[in-house]
Amino acid sequence: DQQVKQNSPSLRVQEGRISILNCDYTNSMFDYFLWYKKYPAEGPTFLISISSIKDKNEDGRFTVFLNKSAKHLSLHIVPSQPGDSAVYFCAATTTSGTYKYIFGTGTRLKVLA
């Protein structure tokens, strides 16, 4: 049972435009969500997170939006840069002590110069 889903395996965006990566979850107990970026031959690196008490969190070019009623979150990258080309994973967990992060299957973003 895939509790965290990223339905788009890949995404191609022109440099300077907005990249929107989507993630859906099924477990209503999740209350903390994260995005990670992964380059080939490297481990995932933390990008941005959001708590369920918020609906938006922004950090520079990266903004994460959370729609709890739809159990949906998205990552917006504006403007997109070629260096953003990577695989992006969303992850979810509960902060009530499970210490277990559930990851999606990833979306490969290609930013075209």
Partner 1 sequence: KAGVTQTPRYLIKTRGQQVTLSCSPISGHRSVSWYQQTPGQGLQFLFEYFSETQRNKGNFPGRFSGRQFSNSRSEMNVSTLELGDSALYLCASSLGDSPLHFGNGTRLTVT
For 1-113, where are the E strands, in sequence order? 4-5, 10-14, 19-25, 32-38, 45-51, 56-59, 62-67, 72-77, 86-93, 102-103, 107-112
User: Of the candidates 42, 69, 83, 113, which one interacts with partner 1 according to CB under 8 A?
Assistant: 42
Stretch that binds partner 1, among 17-25, 35-43, 57-65, 75-83 (CB under 8 A): 35-43
Query: HSE-up of 13 (CA within 13 Å, CB side)?
Result: 24
Per-residue interface string for the shown chain with partner 1, residues 57-96, x marking contact by CB under 8 A: --------------------------------x-x---x-
Smallest gap from residue 103 Cβ to partner 1 (A): 4
Residue whose CB is less far from partner 1, 19 or 93: 93
